[in-house]
């Protein structure tokens, strides 16, 4: 379908909804997803959805709204039809996970979005494994892409929450895999000169502060092990961390 046949009408409908809230949750989210799915064929849609339709700001607002509406203590059969908020929240997270993996347009609103995703994770981590899983996947995409600046990632609290969660005795390999993947992505971006448009002096200071924070939290031995894993991966041309990453750390 040609862009001219649908884009203007969709943009008008979305902007009207943002002012008057005339669409259902499902319709609004599905419309946004329709545009995101077409990034592959028309890269210009990225700028439209990020800077004109303010998807990042809207998604952050919806995550915050739905997180407040969910009764995280509720128990029962999810087939009873009383879980609309969880379903809506999961749909937004799935859309965000895809969006963060394909979008390269920078925007200052990413900080608020990552903060909202981390709030959903903290609320759902012991209550809804599926929601918390997609939160982590979204965070991993955000950390690995240069769409977000390293400073913005650090400001969002991703590193602090990751350190807190890694220390939990109940953490599983899947979660640890993602958290250390976040550290790996940030570290790799700080490693190269001029990364993220950051001045060299600022880059060195930020890199030092990050690793000092890891050491302050008692991860000095793990940092050493972590660097050895990076070296091994680089020498063997591996593109990512192994899933059983916790087996590689001396204190895990």
Q: What is the pLDDT of residues 25-79, one digit of tens each?
A: 889 999 999 888 886 667 788 888 999 999 999 999 999 999 999 988 877 555 4
Q: Is the pLDDT of residue 245 over 70?
A: no
What is the sign, positive or negative, of the torsion defined by CA atoms of 181, 141, 239, 175? positive
Q: How many CA atoms lie within 13 A of 92 on its CB side?
A: 26
pLDDT for the residue 222: 58
Kindly list the domain boundaries of the chain, sorted by start residue. 19-70+86-131, 149-252
pLDDT for the residue 94: 93
Q: In the numeric block, which tokens belong to residue 8? A: 């203007």
With residue 118 as reference, give the H or E element that holds it. Answer: helix 110-124
Mean pLDDT of 234-248: 56
Cα–Cα distance for residue pair 41/38, rounded to 1 Å: 6
- Residue 95 pLDDT class (50, 70, 90 cuts): very high
Q: What is the mean pLDDT of the chain?
A: 78
CA angle (132, 151, 29) in 5-degree steps: 40
Cα–Cα distance for residue pair 191/185, rounded to 1 Å: 10
**Mind listing the pLDDT tens digit for each residue in 191-201?**
765 456 567 77
């Amino acid at each position: 379908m040609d862009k001219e046949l649908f884009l203007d009408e969709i943009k008008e409908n979305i902007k009207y909804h943002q002012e008057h809230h005339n669409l259902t949750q499902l319709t609004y989210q599905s419309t946004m997803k329709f545009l995101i799915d077409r990034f592959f064929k028309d890269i210009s849609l990225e700028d439209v959805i990020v800077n004109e339709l303010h998807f990042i700001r809207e998604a952050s607002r919806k995550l915050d709204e739905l997180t407040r509406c969910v009764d995280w203590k509720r128990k029962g059969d999810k087939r009873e039809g009383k879980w609309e908020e969880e379903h809506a929240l999961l749909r937004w997270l799935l859309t965000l996970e895809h969006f963060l993996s394909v979008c390269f347009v920078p925007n200052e609103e990413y900080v608020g979005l990552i903060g909202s995703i981390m709030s959903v994770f903290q609320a759902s981590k012991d209550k809804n494994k599926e929601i918390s899983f997609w939160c982590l996947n979204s965070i991993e995409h955000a950390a690995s892409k240069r769409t977000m600046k390293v400073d913005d990632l650090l400001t969002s609290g991703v590193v602090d929450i990751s350190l807190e969660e890694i220390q939990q005795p109940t953490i599983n390999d899947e979660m640890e895999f993602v958290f250390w993947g976040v550290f790996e992505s940030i570290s790799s971006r700080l490693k190269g000169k001029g990364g993220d448009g950051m001045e060299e002096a600022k880059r060195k200071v930020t890199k030092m502060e990050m690793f000092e924070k890891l050491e302050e939290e008692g991860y000095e031995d793990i940092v050493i092990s972590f660097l050895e894993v990076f070296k091994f991966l680089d020498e063997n041309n591996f593109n990512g961390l192994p899933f059983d990453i916790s087996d590689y750390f001396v204190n895990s």
